Amino acid sequence: MKFARASITSVCFITATVALSCLPALAQSAPQGTAQDGYESAHSLELYRESHATMFMNDFGQLARYHDADIALAPPAPGEQRVVFFGDSITDIWKLDDSFPGKNYINRGIGGQTTPQMLVRFRPDVVDLHPAVVVILAGTNDIAGNTGPETIDQIEGDYASLADIARANGIRVVFSSVMPINAYNPTALRFFLQRSPEKILALNVWLKRYCAAHGLVYLDYFSATVDENGFLKKDLTQDGLHPNAAGFAVMAPLAQAAITQSLSQPLTARTQAAQ
């Protein structure tokens, strides 16, 4: 099912305490940086791609990263409702045992990844682990262009494909919003200039609508971590992109609530048939 994105002049996000500006206002307030800032940001992305060229050619999905761990992991015990967190560096650096003590949630994050890479490894790193729920956090590196330019339509297509594969294999899906970013220090500005706030908002609009239309759970980190300027709260990050301990402390109860909600929902007929 194809979703038309809302007009850029009318898309607004409401948090618990503040009404954020619509997209044009956000675009006007977004830091632009100097020409040198723009060069350094673009150059850092070029260096990232060059440094990963061998991986892109030989193991695009980075299947080797979790290969041994996937094989060693025993099947879920009877009655166990296994949960896999699947995503990029934000998931990769998340110490799940600290945030969810006793839950034994499985981390399958890989820093820098985009949704095309995640599609390549979705079967060994998620499907073959037989989870009851997968929590997917992605998109920011697609917007940055880590593996090359992508349109919003292409990113949405990858999300839909992940959901299709999961549901066909009896796995409930939680789609997380793309996190906000900020430009409050030089490192943050470099990341910020690679990631359009307008695209982040537009992708989150689509994700929320897709989840509503397909019976998935939408996990809204964005509203809980955004400040009055529309950017990631300064105290929740050091580099403007990745959450720190305080950031993960905000995210963890939201994730747990989304997992609980997902587990409470009946599986679709198609999903039940896959079990």
pLDDT, tens digit (0-9, with 9 covering 90-100), for 174-198:
999 999 999 999 999 988 888 889 9
Please state, in angstroms and rounded to a whole number, the distance separating the CA atoms of residues 268 and 273.
Answer: 9
Please state, in angstroms and rounded to a whole number, the distance separating the CA atoms of residues 137 and 139.
Answer: 7
Residue 6 is predicted with a pLDDT of: 38
- Give the three-class secondary structure for 164: helix
Residue type, 202: A
Is 70 exceeded by the pLDDT of residue 167?
Answer: yes
In this prediction, what percent of the chain has a pLDDT beyond 90? 71
Residue 7, both tokens:
């007009």
Domain encompassing residue 188: 23-74+81-274
Region 191-215: what's the mean pLDDT? 94
| pLDDT per residue as tens digits for the range 59-106 | 889 999 999 999 999 999 999 999 999 999 999 999 999 999 999 999
Query: Mind giving me the DSSP string for 72-133?
Result: HSPPPPTT---EEEEESHHHHT--HHHHSTTS-PEEEE-TT--HHHHHHHHHHHTGGG--SE
Report yes or no on 14 lying in a domain.
no
**Total domains present in the chain:** 1
Please state, in angstroms and rounded to a whole number, the distance separating the CA atoms of residues 146 and 184.
Answer: 22
Report yes or no on 101 lying in a domain.
yes
Report yes or no on 15 lying in a domain.
no
Q: Residue 35's domain is classified under what CATH number? A: 3.40.50.1110
Is 70 exceeded by the pLDDT of residue 157?
Answer: yes
Please state, in angstroms and rounded to a whole number, the distance separating the CA atoms of residues 36 and 12.
Answer: 32
| pLDDT per residue as tens digits for the range 13-67 | 433 333 334 444 454 456 667 766 665 767 677 777 777 778 878 888 999 999 9
Residue 5, both tokens:
């994105």
